[in-house]
């Protein structure tokens, strides 16, 4: 088994490692794409248990079909497509199960946010922003994550306490952090 010292392996190398049944390559692949996979069921408004069931199903599909991936450069899109399909399949199974037991009225209609193209674009946008965040200094990244990128964003007081700063300084620091993030995104030619 190869030993990888960095997460900077290309998708091509990760795919090759997975095809060789290298468990460390598989772990790195999951580490790189876990957020992407979990973000889609969130857009479908699945609860915690359902999101993790979909995650497991996606991992199985990736593992079973990795050899069919023709272009490792499109790994992110391929995983995203699998994830959206698994979410739709899960929603369909859940609906059929509830219909069978006579509880169809309890199932909410899918929200407009469950539109596959909208989900794809939103997830891709979020992934680009996440990658830019990863380039930032740790304290700046942590502050922005607490304020904007958690399931329940924190208010200034809670964020300040979590990082060890004064509540009164959070506003100014937040602006500087957002400015850094903007510069990183501009350097990547990101357009919102």
Instruction: State pLDDT tens for residues 148-159.
Output: 877 777 888 888
Rounded CA gap, 171 and 68, in Å?
49
Rounded CA gap, 134 and 142, in Å?
10
- Which pLDDT score is estimated for 123? 75
Instruction: Please tell me the number of Cα atoms within 13 Å of 155 on its side-chain side.
Output: 2
Mean pLDDT, range 94-109, rounded to an integer: 65
- Which pLDDT score is estimated for 5? 46
Q: What is the pTM (predicted TM-score) of this model?
A: 0.61
Percent of the chain residues past pLDDT 70, beyond the cut: 87
- pLDDT higher than threshold 50 for residue 112: no
| Domains and their CATH numbers in the chain | 1-112 (1.10.1740.10), 135-192 (1.10.10)
Specify whether the backbone of 45 is left (phi greater than 0), alpha (psi in -120 to 50) or beta.
left
Query: Which tens digits make up the pLDDT trace of 44-64?
Result: 888 999 999 999 999 999 999
């Amino acid at each position: 088994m190869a030993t990888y010292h960095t997460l900077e392996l290309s998708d091509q190398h990760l795919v090759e490692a997975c095809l060789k049944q290298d468990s460390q390559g598989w772990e790195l692949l999951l580490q790189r794409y876990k957020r992407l996979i979990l973000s889609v069921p969130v857009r479908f408004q699945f609860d915690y248990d359902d999101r993790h069931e979909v995650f497991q199903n996606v991992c199985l599909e990736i593992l079973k079909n990795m050899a069919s991936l023709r272009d490792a450069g499109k790994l992110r899109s391929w995983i995203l497509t699998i994830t959206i399909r698994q979410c739709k399949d899960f929603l369909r199974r859940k609906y059929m199960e509830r219909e069978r037991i006579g509880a169809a009225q309890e199932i909410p209609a899918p929200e407009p946010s469950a539109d596959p193209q909208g989900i794809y674009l939103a997830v891709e946008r979020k992934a680009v922003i996440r990658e830019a965040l990863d380039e930032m200094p740790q304290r700046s990244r942590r502050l922005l994550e607490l304020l904007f990128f958690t399931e329940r964003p924190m208010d200034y007081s809670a964020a300040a306490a979590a990082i060890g700063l004064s509540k009164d300084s959070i506003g100014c620091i937040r602006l500087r952090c957002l400015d850094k993030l903007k510069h990183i995104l501009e350097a990547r030619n990101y357009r919102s």
